[in-house]
Structure 1
């Protein structure tokens, strides 16, 4: 008995008209019996189990990445900007205008957009994509990943870096 004799008529019409790939699949299945396609079904089940196992492993790996690795790196990332600001502010050879140029160059090189630029203050902001949250989302069967991407583009607050020149009287 051919496989397509079991498939309802509506499904046959859908398969035959949907795409070339599905039509090729229908042509392959047309002369096969269930015993002929049993190895393909078993292989599909093994692959789907492996993908589920990988997705379950992504959840704990993502939790570790977000809570331990990214939090520590966020402090180091901010420390880089703070150390740069201290280095530039202590440099006696630079005037205020040159300091502002260095601050602006630092922000631009790191992908920040300048949102405020005055003679004594420059502010840059940038949204930082979290790999840990993406892994957690993928570990929640891709629904969480879609929610995180939606959150990133709509509600996530950007990382803000401010450089100010202090006036000495």
Structure 2
């Protein structure tokens, strides 16, 4: 686990700003386009990396999930899903792309397997990861991204 708490890169803020804007607009578009407000219910599974939305007992949308990473509050650490051997492979999606993006662009927090938990840095890394993965939706409480499929 990399415990380097400092993450400095001159281009990080620009990438982060673009990721924030992208997440806001894509999430709003997804909610509007698929009617994901009101009495909508959903269920997700890490085993098959699927999320299903339904209304009035009728499924109207399914999507693919990618687990971005997880926080251990007990250990105060963040671990990227690509470095977490306990996760089902289906939920990893193309998360390796995030690690490679970090390596190719010199953003150290993205290829580190894990780091000391800093809520702001974790939120930033998750947003950038969702952008790199071209996610339609972003679930901050679940550390997942979603792309609709039907």
TM-score (normalised: structure 2): 0.29
Q: Which one has the largest radius of gyration?
A: 1
TM-score (normalised: structure 1): 0.27
